[in-house]
Structure 1
């Protein structure tokens, strides 16, 4: 799935559905089939009969920080910031003044993913999903093997 399709899907979803998507695609968690949409749960990897609530990745900065750590484990560096009046993104109309920005990048692979959203957790999660959608997960697996 490419950037525009990911953004369109993201914009059509509730925060809890976004959290489910991040849990599966970025964090690699297995969601339970027997859950209520308002209370998504994931299966504990070491205990398949036990479940935990899916964190509020898209609304809670502490949970979003886990997304950053996962992306770092996949070989990404990151930058967080805020769109200012001198920002090229604001001047070009790509972002609104005060929007939160997340960049994930792997310089050696010439990969740069950036996202502007109203809140930092949203920016982090959407940038991570876009990175996954661009086939970056393959690089992450290779990078992890090289570290071992």
Structure 2
């Protein structure tokens, strides 16, 4: 039987530690400054920590807390109103890479996770200038 990714990284306890360390890094580093700003325009950092755990649990094959609460797991829909640049996506990935490294999460399953995170982060890049407003083109 193939282990779910959440089990491969050590279960919900390790996932919670990853999310907490990720958001600590986001709040402590220059790379995270814009991410903090975006979250503060939304529901705030505490909310982000909770919902990130809820989403990633289901995303990694564990209990689908986010779907139980919100009725879906559509990451594009979750971020549709948020202006996200390629730089924002790269900074998110930088912070997550640092959190994974600090928690010493490694191996083929973590490399696969990094690839999926990259694909999803870049998929969320959009042309919104402000919340719901399209950027003007020259």
Name which one, 1 or 2, has greater alpha-carbon Rg.
Answer: 1
Structure number with higher helix proportion: 2
| TM-score, normalized by the shorter chain, greater than 0.5 | no
TM-score, normalising length from structure 2?
Answer: 0.28
* Higher relative contact order (Cα pairs below 8 Å, separated by 6+ residues): 2
